[in-house]
Structure 1
Amino acid sequence: MRVLLTGSTGWLGRHLAPMLRDAGHQVVGMDVAPGPDTRVVGSVADRALVERVMFSHGIEGVIHGAALHKPDIVRYPRQAFVDVNVTGTLNLLECAIAAGADRLVFTSTTSLMITQAIRDETADEAVWLDENSGPLSPRNIYGVTKRAAEELCRLVHAEAGLPIVILRTSRFFPEDDDTHRDLSGENMKANEFLNRRLTVQDCARAHIAALDRAPAIGFATYIASAPTPFSRDDVVELKRDARAVIARLFPDAAELFAARGWSLPARIGRVYDASAIESGLGFRCTTDFAAILAAMRVGGEIPFDHDATYVSPKE
């Protein structure tokens, strides 16, 4: 299949492009920044360029990963988010239909599910989040524009029948968190595999699974995240004493973390439930919290990427 991959120079794109080729697809990469997998340098906000790429390359499927993200809020005005995340998505949807493409995968974010109250962890228990959670009230322009783009996907599918799978991805960025500094970057990432993270490799694999299954599915939205070891029955204790819950599930976790000078979370305020993507797409992340502990037990390499110096190529 001839696949247009937007955001091909970014963190996800650089991992996804070679996986697509390994799966037998021809990849046309498009990004505002040049890169080894980017054939077309330009913005999805440029309608004429998107249309030209679709028709000149005979695009059959689209993976739309290009976006302005949460860290970009301090660098770009709101209008830029609307131009790229909303108008750019509409350009791709309409040009895909015009060019005869038969599927589109849209990279969305779990961030749009997080209200200010959820972020502030005001509830007495951990918030359990799945695809039916709501009402959705994104707290910043990133979440607002991604939510708007999801609605465009829903509308276009309903009106034109284009098969679309939306993946609300949890965290997979390699750099340090730009708002929390209490723990080292690696420690925080390891903790997040309990409730809100996946590897970039698993994220790429989820996109390929969505691309393969989109025509059979028609339209669906899935959370893409490492499977949590917790259940809904744990939500009260997770907020009060997460370490006790972790100790029951992983008796040696505290010792393994302490040996690295790491800390387990004392409280967990939200949990992403990724069970729907397993039942709907047949996809399950290969790296979870148990895999991280298994690597630590044998002194192996930690199975996720961390790069405190990473800067988006577009910057």
Structure 2
Amino acid sequence: MNILVTGSSGWLGQTLVPRLVRDGHKVVGLDPEPGPTTEVVGSVVDRALVRHLVRDHGIEAIVHAAARHKPHIETHDNSEFVAVNVQGTLNLLEEAVAPGSKVDRFVFTSTTSLMISQKIRDGKAGGAKQAMWIDETLGPLEPRNIYGVTKRAAEELCRLFNHLHKLPIVILRTARFFPEEDDMAHAIEQSGDNTKANEFLFRRLSVEDAAEAHVAALHKAPALGFDTFIISAMTPFSPDDCRELIVDAPKVVERYFPDYRELYDRRGWTMFASIDRVYDASKARDRLGFTCGTGFAEILDSLR
């Protein structure tokens, strides 16, 4: 297929573009920042550029991973989020269904962040008695910042274009896979690798798995028509663990992984005292046929 990948210079794009090329696809990478996986330097906000790429390259599939992300809240104003995350998505969708377009599938990279209200974000500090079990049925969605609001709006545009034009669209709400420090680093003395390892229990995946999820979505989109999936490493927990997770997470983890403390102690690592949410990726396993290859068990294997 001829595939347009937006955000091709980003963390996901750098992994996804070569992965698609290895499968024999012709990939056109679009990103405002130049890079080895970007063929065209430009923005999804530029409607004329989007039209040119879709038409002149005979694009058959679009993976829309370009976005202003949560870290950009500190450096970009709200209008920039609306322009890139909402208008940029609309530009791609409209060109995908324009007369003469060959596009027959669209994969949108969304985020689990839009599912986290301020109440969920506050967790135990806000009086929660148990961890929140989060799957695709969670609602109503109340994003807590401009990033979440604009990604949610973009999802609604995807839903609308599928309804109006029957364009097959798969939305992937990815959990954390970025390499930067994140907002739970304060929960333990150590951060970095220790924090990320802990998060594989309930809200993280590798960038390689994120790329594989997009490959699966491209393959399944025509058969699915329209669907939304949480993409995260499979959690070992069950809803029955949620009450104890928020008061004594290490105890719960030890039930599933009896030797984790010994492996952590060797590195001076610690587990979060409390876990306030758990992403359930079982729908992606069951309907998309995708399961992350790296989870907490694999992280422990690497420590061994």
Structure-2-length-normalised TM-score: 0.96
Identify the residue that residue 52 of structure 1 maps to in structure 2.
52
1:180 shift after superposition: 3.3
- Which residue matches 2:121? 119
- In structure 1, how many angstroms separate the alpha carbons of the residues matched to 2:26 and 2:179? 27
> What does 1:32-51 align with in structure 2 at a 5 Å threshold?
32-51=32-51
Q: In structure 2, what is the Cα distance between the partners aligned to 1:22 and 1:42?
A: 24
Q: Give the Cα–Cα distance (whole angstroms) in 1 for the partners of residues 185 and 270 of structure 2.
A: 14
The answer (yes or no) to whether the contact 1:71–1:178 under 8 Å persists in 2 is: no
For residue 107 of structure 1, what is the aligned residue in structure 2?
109
Distance between the aligned counterparts of 1:175 and 1:150, measured in 2? Answer: 25
* Residue 228 of structure 1: aligned partner: 235
For the residue of structure 1 that corresponds to 2:89, the secondary structure is helix
- Deviation string, structure 1 residues 133-158 (Cα, Å, up to 9, x no partner): 01100000000000000000000000
Structure 2 Cα separation of the partners of residues 140 and 240 of structure 1 = 27
1:183-240 deviation per Cα after TM superposition (whole angstroms, max 9, x unaligned): 3211000000000000000000000000011001000000000000000110001111
**Partner-residue secondary structure (3-state), 2:5:** strand
- CA distance, structure 2, for counterparts of residue 286 and residue 140 of structure 1: 31
State which of 250, 264, 268 in structure 2 corresponds to 1:243. Answer: 250
| 2:142 pairs with 1:137 | yes
Q: Distance in 1 between matches of 2:11 and 2:290?
A: 21
Deviation at 1:54? 0.5
- Residues matched between the structures, number: 297
Alignment of 1:202 onto 2:204 = no
1:260 to 263, 267, 274: 267
State yes or no: 1:284 paired with 2:298. no
Q: Residues of 2 paired with 1:61 and 1:211: CA distance?
A: 8
Matched residues in 2 for 1:216 and 1:184: separation?
A: 42
CA apart distance, 1:37: 1.3
Shift, 1:100, TM fit: 2.5
**Contact conserved, 1:45 with 1:87, CA < 8 A, in 2?**
yes
Q: Structure 1: which 5+ residue stretches go unaligned?
A: 298-315
Letter in 2 for 1:292: I
Taking the aligned partners of 2:270 and 2:27, their CA distance within structure 1 comes to 42
Q: Could you tell me which residue of structure 1 aligns to residue 185 of structure 2?
A: 180
| Aligned twin of 2:26 | 26
Cα distance in 2, alignment partners of residues 191 and 49 from structure 1: 42
Q: Distance in 2 between matches of 1:254 and 1:169?
A: 28
When the two structures are superposed, what TM-score results if normalisation uses the length of structure 1?
A: 0.93
Quick check: 146-155 or 36-45, which moved more?
36-45
2:94 is aligned to 94
Alignment equivalent of 2:302, drawn from 287, 295, 299: 295
In 1, are the aligned partners of 2:185 and 2:192 still within 8 Å (CA)?
A: no
Return the alpha-carbon distance in structure 2 between the equivalents of residues 281 and 10 of structure 1: 24
How far residue 290 of structure 1 moved from its aligned partner, in angstroms, is 0.4
Q: 1:274 aligns with which of 274, 281, 291?
A: 281
Q: Which amino acid aligns with 1:238?
A: L
- After superposition, where does 1:154-165 map in structure 2 within 5 Å? 154-165=159-170
**Cα separation, 2, equivalents of 1:134 and 1:255:** 39
> 8 Å contact 2:185–2:191 — kept in the other structure?
no
Query: Residue type of the partner of 1:69?
Result: H
Provide, for residues 268-307 of structure 1, a one-character-per-residue CA deviation record: whole Å limited to 9, x for no partner: 000000000000111000000000111111xxxxxxxxxx
SS in 2 for 1:165: strand
- How far apart are residue 179 of structure 1 and its match? 6.3
CA distance in 2, matches of 1:32, 1:60: 22
**CA-based RMSD:** 0.8
Q: Which runs of 5+ in 2 are unaligned?
A: none
Q: How far 1:178 moved relative to its partner?
A: 5.1
Paired with 1:19 and 1:283, the residues of 2 have a C-alpha distance of 16
Letter in 2 for 1:47: R
